[in-house]
Amino acid sequence: MKGIFTPPQKQNAPCDSSAGEGLPSLSRRHLIAATFGATAMIACGGAIAQTENRQKTARNGRGGGKRALIIVDMQNDFLPGGALAVERGDEIIPVINALYEKFDTIIVTQDWHPHGHISFASAHDGKEPNDTIDTPNGPQILWPDHCVQGTWGAKICKDLRITKAQLIIRKGYNIDLDSYSAFKEADGQTPTGLAGYLRERGIAHLFVTGVATDFCVGWTAIDAASLGFDVSVVEDATRGINLDGSLDKAWEAMKKAGVSRIKASDIG
């Protein structure tokens, strides 16, 4: 999750550090093996009207193709009590858990930053969170340290059901490159391997959930649509930041990209 906003004050966190333990951890060099494995983790750096046709697509997937649930960045640091919390982000956990039962293929994304990551204000002398710096890949917004590898904040919330997730995409692990989308790093060029993984399994329709609607969820949905997938964002299974109208702008951008805006109840 990324966005320009002032992190809320710390609250009592609903999640603890045990989530995600026991899952395999693979690096980029294992990409080919992971693509053909049953369970793997890859490290990698405006409203739309609901119509009967859209709802049918949500239930069945375009052309009868297989479907997958994508859960974006449901980590302690992005939920109440975390370093970069999305307000009321914890409220979508039961919605996502209910959807979990309806899918055979589940993909989870996880911010996974090293200490001193380029997106951390603490890594740049004299800079504060929400400042902007220039990088070879364009402007970079700076944040408080968050989702640092191996910390409580980087862990998936323990209340989220992910035991049958086939793949966890770790993003933002490259110290000099940020990452927003589950499909491409922030340079817009480097693929994560997710598109190939899905195509190999005949998956055509993606349902995107998580945080934040107007940043990492939106980037993931738009990139997926540009790669030819049929994409639906489940509105009541996401939460946005809505900084200076960013939420409406994100929905409009997703609409232009061909992304559907649906409710969890539309999914059979």
Residues 59-68, mean pLDDT to the nearest whole number = 67
In a domain, 72, yes or no: yes
pLDDT of residue 34: 33
User: Model pTM greater than 0.95?
Assistant: no
In a domain, 14, yes or no: no
pLDDT of residue 58: 52
Q: How far apart are CA 71 and CA 75, in angstroms?
A: 10
In a domain, 201, yes or no: yes
Which residue is listed with tokens 């992005």?
78
In a domain, 205, yes or no: yes
CB contact at 8 A, 208 and 149? no
Query: Which three-class secondary structure string do you get for 10-41?
Result: CCCCCCCCCCCCCCCCCCHHHHHHHHCCCCEE
Give the pLDDT band of residue 43 (cuts 50, 70, 90): low
Q: How many domains does the chain have?
A: 1
In a domain, 102, yes or no: yes
CATH of the domain at 61: 3.40.50.850
SS3 call for 96 = helix
Q: How are beta strands 167-171 and 106-111 bridged, if at all?
A: parallel
Q: pLDDT at residue 166 above 80?
A: yes
- Joined together, the tokens standing for residue 231 give 């994409």
In a domain, 259, yes or no: yes
Give the pLDDT band of residue 22 (cuts 50, 70, 90): very low
Q: How far apart are CA 13 and CA 11, in angstroms?
A: 6
CB contact at 8 A, 231 and 72? no
Phi, psi of 113 (to 5 degrees): -90, 140
Active site members: 73, 171, 216
CB contact at 8 A, 84 and 144? yes
pLDDT of residue 15: 57
More confident residue, 186 or 115: 115
Most confident of 25-34, 140-149, 230-239: 230-239
Strands (E), the chain: 40-44, 66-72, 106-111, 132-135, 138-141, 167-171, 203-211, 230-239, 260-262
More confident residue, 7 or 164: 164
In a domain, 20, yes or no: no
Q: How far apart are CA 59 and CA 67, in angstroms?
A: 9
Which domain does 58 fall in, by range? 28-266
In a domain, 106, yes or no: yes
